[in-house]
Amino acid sequence: MPAQRAIVTGAGGFIGHHLVRALKADGYWVRGVDLKYPEFGTTVADEFELLDLRRWEQCETAMRGARGAEVYNLAANMGGIGYIEHHKAVIMHDNVLINTHVLEAAREEQAERYLYTSSACVYPIYRQQSPDVTPLREEDAYPADPEDGYGWEKLFSERQCRHYWEDYGLETRVVRFHNIFGPLGTYDGGREKSPAAICRKVALARDGEAIEVWGDGSQTRSYCYVDDAVEGMRRLIHSSHRDPLNLGQERLISINELVDLVASIAGKRVTRHHIAGALGVRGRTSDNTRLRAVLGWEPTVSLEAGLRQTYEWIAAQLAARSAAAPAPLRAPAVAPLR
């Protein structure tokens, strides 16, 4: 019996890199596609192709031979709140082109199933104005008022997937991620998400020092470990559920509490210095009622366990970087004049 086949776009990114590893561990033949190779570690994909999925002809190349295969479209121009707040035009331009082209190329090649990775950013701003937010159900996405830029393009692409099922019969699946985190993700440079940024700041801080926190720190989120995200995607693509589905944790935590939790894991006393910065919505968490009903499953890795893995990995990366950095040049000692 031939091995199952999958094509993973965004395979050079954080979640895509983990997904490729999981598929290969289950015996899949995998083609990975991205603009870049994984930043941390070598890909285990059978084929890995550097392609720009904003270009139609390169999507045709990426999807060649996709008949009967599973297609996971994780490719996107994205980052943390600081990045998506200040790059709305390019994010919308790039991501709408990517999904439009990949979806059409997968249809033309007669892919068996197509999974699109959406985001909790599709949920209306008016439902997320308090830190004590009501958990968001899938139907709460309408009437629409998603996060400007990134949220709008995600909501549009969700509808596009729906219409490809209705009009062409392509089996599409849509997952709405709620703040996925874990090792092998970017932790500096401006595109990192809040758990990675806080882990980096705490790792670099001396015991008793303050770290910078954007806003008053009372904004709340829920966080889902990457292993659970991968498991949820794979369960969803094999299910019969065609409507968008939340994938996250239901535990709500403030940014201030997240800082304290990371500091406890690090064994450090850390204080918070609140500064101006991009904040996003005041509160956001997932309602997993439908996830449990559809998949008979929900994320199981605790925030503490996931953060410990993430912190230890980021701290090790920073230590290795520091050890590899050249020693600063020092002026030669000069004997005093006599």
The number of residues making up the chain comes to 338
Task: Count Cα atoms within 13 angstroms, Cβ side, for 333.
Answer: 2
Q: How far is Cα 320 from Cα 94, in angstroms, rounded to an integer? A: 34
Q: How far is Cα 57 from Cα 256, in angstroms, rounded to an integer? A: 47
Cα angle 180, 188, 43 (rounded to 5 degrees) comes to: 65
Q: Which structure tokens are listed for 189?
A: 């440079």
Q: Is 150 a catalytic residue?
A: yes
**Cβ(31)–Cβ(7) under 8 Å?**
yes
Q: How far is Cα 233 from Cα 10, in angstroms, rounded to an integer? A: 14
Close Cβ partners of 25 (under 8 Å, ≥ 6 residues apart): none
204 phi and psi angles, rounded to 5 deg: -85, -15
Q: Which residues of 63-75 are buried (b: 16+ CB within 10 A; e: fewer)?
A: beebeebbbbbbb
**Cβ(63)–Cβ(101) under 8 Å?**
no
**Active-site entry in 72, 83, 150, 225:** 150
Q: Beta strand 245-247 with 171-177: parallel, antiparallel or unpaired?
A: parallel
Active site residues: 150
